[in-house]
Structure 1
Amino acid sequence: MTTISQQLLRRKPIGPDTSSPLARTIGLFPLMAIGISCTIGTGIFFIMSQAVPMAGPAVIWSFVIAGVVAGLTALCYAELAGAVPVSGSTYSYAYATMGEGTAMIVGACLLLEYAVSAGAVAVGWSQYLNELLGNLFNIQLPHALVNAPEEGGIVNLPAVVLIALCAVLLIRGTKESVVTNAIMVCVKIAVLLFFIAVGITGWNSDHFANFAPYGISGVAAGAGVIFFSFIGLDAVSTAGEEAKNPKRNLPLAIMLALLVVIALYIGVALVAIGAQPASQFEGQEAGLSAILADVVGSSWPATVLAIGAVISIFSVTLVTLYGQTRILFAMSRDGMIPKVFGQVNARTFTPVRNTLIVSAVVAVLAGVIPINFLAEMTSIGTLAAFLVVSIGLIILRRREPDLERGFKVPLYPLTPILSIAGCIWIISQLRPVTIVVFVVWSAVFLAFYFLYGRRKSALEPGNSVLEPEVPITAAVHVEKDER
């Protein structure tokens, strides 16, 4: 009989699960689109009004610093994704390097990062949709149907509808979902390029005078706010068992997505500062739209930006729901949570019941609960997961030096150490109450592990792995057909 300490520290074997019922249908570009989609959400459309008052025109350096910190973590993700190409993202990496107990806590972090953030961005989508309907058709949805009960409404109906639409796409099949997402990513990139192209016509170099009015501390504070606009690159790693040639494509997709995001963000920041004085950013709503309206002298750019935001948030919701279902799939297969989350439909090769349960829970969050505080919980959950990835990389390098890796981080061990330091620094900037609630949430999840997971674990002697609904040979056949 295994002891509790042995159960907490037991590790899952490293390597791809050759018995996975999920089909490998996702190529390099759709993988890259997953990373871009989950990263470029509402943040870039509003972050300037928060960051510029902190850093002044030097907010450009804030974007660079935030991008570097995110990039360090992305490099660590890239190596682990190539070395451990399975579903589950950080959960699977923690299970392979630190043990079952740590993996369970990471699972709690990822529930905050994906499920809660999906609800939060769905609420944002509802607001943008209402604005767009007003701009295009002079229609405003009733207050009661676009707000939670605490905000004087009944239910946020558009947010619920969005979750339902994403669920339908995910149930129909992974290939259909990633193709739809790739199209929406192209549209959101085009909208940001549109902002850069139009905004640069109002360029005024005088706006860069008094470049860093609040010094290095202001630049650092701005970077702390902006960092959360880079969250989402790790979504690529949730597709580990559905990616074609994962040892090559997973690391490459993460790095390409990072480069695209950094280039777009810095381009938008430069043009925004060049087109509008730094003093006008504070308190500015729909900042990018307002900047273009001033440059062009018309309100039509606001409509274009609103369209971009609606499409952008739709794709973010789709990818976060996808990522959550794949993480729960991996946890269920390992016995950490009930088997229903790991069952794969024989026709669509997707975890249908898993998707329905996740979508129902997220729809409740989005429809009836104000998401402001939960959005901050998303941030700490993400940072904790990032922290585990960097530590896991160091452990795996020492424990498995000869393991085949599709990519190796440069400047090891400096890169993961800097990533760890960056994550700890940003966590220290969060409100104490957020950290306390996070600790309590992790403790609840760990208690569930002691009551359920440690006895049901696939690594527990006498237990067997999850029997999938779909025949393994059928999944393999689809994989071959899609190559």
Structure 2
Amino acid sequence: MKNPEKTIPRAIFLTTGILTAMYSLIAYVAVGVSGELYVVPGTLLTNSATILLGEAGRVMIAVAGIFASLMTLSTAISIQASVITALSRDGYLPDSFMSVHKRFGTHYKSILFGSVMTAIFASTGMVEVIGYAASFAALLVFILVNLSLIKLRMDKPFLKRPFKIFLYPFTPILGIIVAFTLLFIVERFSAAVGLSLVAVGLIIYYVRMIGYRRFRIAIGGANVGIGLLTLLIRHFFEERITAVFTSQELALWFLNGLTAVALLCVLTGLLNVLSKE
């Protein structure tokens, strides 16, 4: 391949443009046909093919869907295996996931692990929710990629870049705005699931970056701070807290319990900070 640094990005943009045009035209025809005529049981595209071409159209769409699903599945398996292998290489997963099959040259353990996790998620019956959550995460990644592009262009303006960004910086800014707008269209529960997974990933990454020792000290310091703050609240707002309860005895039980929890937080925090392990 001649000049792959420019040829590959151009091919990606050209393919994206062609597919976007095809999808838009197919969606326009499918919605238009099914909207004007009757709708038979099935998906929108199958309905339109059945209306236009009869039973043969339905069979053609079914066969095309099977082949498309197989290609998508093989691509997804390859991608998830690469991600799992990279996580293993960086120390977030066991080293065994980097094992390569002697005959086929594939990361078979990563493929098996990813397939098992996919089957577990699919068995929950929340495939649609997981799909929305994945779309939500993809939009977040798209935003971060565009932000990274702008930051790299600002921090390293003299770095060699064979491929130029069309209408920079308006193109990445427009991408950020569009992706951010689409975030509000995603179903709320799915968005919450996506944010939760992102939060868990950030916590794991943070712990990995700072190390277990520093993370334990940070948690210990937070415990000490929470405990001392609770004791101060108990001391200065004792009368207001007591007024909330109908019984003096219940108020006393609550205040004593609050004091015990605060002291426990301070104690565990100090043990974490002072421990030499």
Q: TM-score, normalised by structure 1?
A: 0.40
Q: Does 1:289 align with 2:76?
A: no
More helix by share: 2
Equivalent of 1:401 in 157, 165, 173: 157
Q: Structure 1: how far apart are the matches of 2:23 and 2:156?
A: 37
Q: 1:103-152 CA deviation, whole Å, 9 max, x = no partner?
A: xxxxxxxxxxxxxxxxxxxxxxxxxxxxxxxxxxxxxxxxxxxxxxxxxx
Q: Does 1:259 align with 2:17?
A: yes
Specify whether residues 287 and 277 from structure 1 end up closer, same or farther in structure 2 by C-alpha distance, changes over 3 A only: closer
Structure 2 residue aligned with 1:431: 187
Look up the equivalent residue of 1:413 and give its one-letter code. P
Q: Does 1:308 align with 2:68?
A: no
Look up the equivalent residue of 2:22 and give its one-letter code. L
Q: 1:157-203 CA deviation, whole Å, 9 max, x = no partner?
A: xxxxxxxxxxxxxxxxxxxxxxxxxxxxxxxxxxxxxxxxxxxxxxx
Q: Structure 1: how far apart are the matches of 2:98 and 2:210?
A: 17
Structure 1 residue aligned with 2:5: 247
Q: Structure 2: how far apart are the matches of 1:346 and 1:401?
A: 45
Q: Structure 2: how far apart are the matches of 1:366 and 1:306?
A: 22
Task: Report deviation, 1:419.
Answer: 0.3
Moved over 6 A (4+): 281-284
Greater shift, 278-287 or 301-310, is seen at 278-287
Specify whether residues 283 and 399 from structure 1 end up closer, same or farther in structure 2 by C-alpha distance, changes over 3 A only: farther
Aligned positions of 1:26-425 closer than 5 A: 247-248=5-6, 250-272=8-30, 276=33, 278-280=35-37, 285-296=42-53, 298-345=54-101, 347-367=103-123, 369-425=125-181
Task: Report deviation, 1:426.
Answer: 0.5
Q: Structure 1: how far apart are the matches of 2:163 and 2:39?
A: 42
Task: Report deviation, 1:444.
Answer: 1.8
- Runs (5+) with no aligned partner, structure 2: 213-277
Calculate percent identity across the aligned residue pairs. 26
Higher RCO (CA-CA < 8 Å; seq separation 6+): 1
- Runs (5+) with no aligned partner, structure 1: 1-27, 29-243, 457-483
Q: Structure 2: how far apart are the matches of 1:283 and 1:423?
A: 34
What is the count of residue pairs matched by the alignment?
212
Query: Would you say the 8 A contact 1:345–1:351 is kept in 2?
Result: yes
Larger Rg: 2
Structure 2 residue aligned with 1:161: none
Look up the equivalent residue of 1:332 and give its one-letter code. S
Q: Structure 2: how far apart are the matches of 1:445 and 1:357?
A: 18
- State the Cα RMSD in Å: 2.9
Task: Report deviation, 1:304.
Answer: 1.2
Q: Structure 2: how far apart are the matches of 1:273 and 1:311?
A: 23
Task: Report deviation, 1:249.
Answer: 5.0
Task: Report deviation, 1:284.
Answer: 6.3
Q: Structure 1: how far apart are the matches of 2:57 and 2:4?
A: 40
Q: Structure 1: how far apart are the matches of 2:39 and 2:52?
A: 18
Look up the equivalent residue of 1:323 and give its one-letter code. I
Aligned residue for 2:151, secondary structure, equals: helix
Q: Structure 2: how far apart are the matches of 1:253 and 1:348?
A: 30
